[in-house]
Amino acid sequence: MSARGSATSPASGVGVSVAWSAHLQRRERRTRLLHGAVAVLAVLGGLGTLAGWIVPDSDPPNRAAAGSVSAAQLVGAFSMDFVTRYLSSKSGDEKALTAYITAPAITLPNVAATVSDPWVVYTKLITNSAQMTTWTAVVSLRIDAAVNPDRERAYFRTSVSVFNGAPRALSLPQRVEAPHIGVDATLAYPVTADPGTDLHVLATGFLSAYLTGREDLSRYTTADTILTAIRPSPYTAISMVTVQVDRPASDASSLHLLMTVDARTTNYSVTRLQYWVTAVNSAGRWQVRAFDDQPLINPGLSTPDPSHPSSAAPASPTQTGGSR
Q: How confident is the model at residue 267, as a pLDDT? A: 94
Q: How confident is the model at residue 307, as a pLDDT? A: 52
Task: Give this prediction's pTM.
Answer: 0.62
Q: How confident is the model at residue 38, as a pLDDT? A: 46
Q: Where do the structural domains in the chain lie, given as residue ranges?
A: 16-54, 62-176, 186-298
Classify domain 62-176 at the CATH topology level.
Answer: Nuclear Transport Factor 2; Chain: A, (3.10.450)
Domains 62-176 and 186-298 share a fold: yes
What is the distance in angstroms between the CA of the first residue and the CA of the last residue of the chain? Answer: 102
The yes/no answer on whether domain 186-298 falls in CATH 3.10.450.540 is yes
Q: How confident is the model at residue 216, as a pLDDT? A: 95
Q: In which residue ranges of the chain is pLDDT below 50?
A: 1-20, 23-24, 38, 40-44, 46-68, 309-324
Q: Which amino acid is at 85?
A: R
Quick check: 72 and 48 in contact, CB under 8 A?
A: no
CA–CA distance from 260 to each of 241, 242, 245, 248 (Å)?
5, 5, 12, 18
CA 272 – CA 137 distance, rounded (Å):
34
Partnered with residue 282 across adjacent β-strands are 285
